[in-house]
Amino acid sequence: METRELNHVALLVSDVEKSCEFYAGVLRLQRMERPAFDFPGAWFRLGKTQELHLIGGEKTERAVPRRRANHFALRADDLDAWRQHLQALGLPLRGPVKRPDGAIQLFLSDPDGHVIELFTGP
């Protein structure tokens, strides 16, 4: 028996359309087809095989971003270009931060306060 891969990350969101605008417009993720569940949501492609599943229809409380909060990380191609893009949109960022292994990180939050790390490898 073995675990083969991370398939998807699922996040509860308060407003599916607002979250879709963020993930498609700000992070430039590709929206993908979603099965016809009986609750609102949306799916996005994360790289080649992983996915982000947004789940709506439940009352949610805004996550409180913390320095070492629960988060998910996306490997980015040009962190400086991403920083400039996000700053131009007026989004609050933390970083760039250099990890002990040499990777560079930026942190931001989605409309519900979920923390997202963008990084370039060491």
Model confidence pLDDT, tens digit, residues 44-87: 999 899 999 999 987 777 776 666 778 999 999 999 999 999 99
Model confidence at 24, pLDDT cuts 50, 70, 90, reads: very high
pTM of the model: 0.90
* Residue ranges of domains in the chain: 8-120
**CATH code of the domain made up of 8-120:** 3.10.180.10
Inter-residue long-range contacts of 69-74, CB under 8 Å, 24+ positions, other chains counted = 69/115, 70/115, 71/107, 71/114, 71/115, 71/116, 71/117, 72/9, 72/114, 72/116, 72/117, 73/105, 73/116, 73/117, 73/118, 73/119, 74/27, 74/46, 74/47, 74/116, 74/117, 74/118, 74/119
